[in-house]
Amino acid sequence: MPYQKGDWESILKKVTDEKVVIHFWGVTCAPCVKEMPLWGKFTHENKNAKIMYIQVDDVSKQMVEQMLQKANLSKGENFYLTTAFDEYLRYEIDPQWRGETPMTIWIDRDGRRTRKIGTTNFLELKRWFQKNNL
């Protein structure tokens, strides 16, 4: 699905009272390329985990689709940028975020957000979902 300025609030409204993880990644981000198959595996093994993926670099839609397919994530809830990922988009998501990827936001049922920069510790993520009644 396309992602543009203003969509962040729509996504947050959509997941109110849910536990959700929103992962920001890029096709041109080396750690993201390495990690995306692990996200695919995690998603496959934890089918009830609500995870959204937002691709944030300036590449073709075909490149995004190829990477998602390679990671077995093409059937997930995926978003791709329709405009340049600038400071306005980043600020809308998290005023403290400078745009580094990968970046993941964990949102619990009470709306508390935890922002994590860098690759994901999937054991920690699994425990978080279990703690929050996956």
Q: Would you give the DSSP letter of residue 44?
A: H
State the distance between the two ends of the chain, measured CA to CA, in whole angstroms: 25
- Using the CB atoms, write b or e for 110-132: b if 16+ within 10 Å: eeeeeebeeebeeeebeebbeeb
pLDDT of residue 123: 96
Q: Whole-angstrom Cα distance, residue 27 to residue 109? A: 30
pLDDT tens digits for range 21-46: 999 999 999 999 999 999 999 999 99
Record the pTM.
0.93
Quick: pLDDT tens for 61-96.
999 999 999 999 999 899 998 877 778 888 999 999
Domains of the chain: 2-131 (3.40.30.10)
**Spatial separation of the C-alpha atoms in residues 52 and 108, rounded to whole Å:** 14
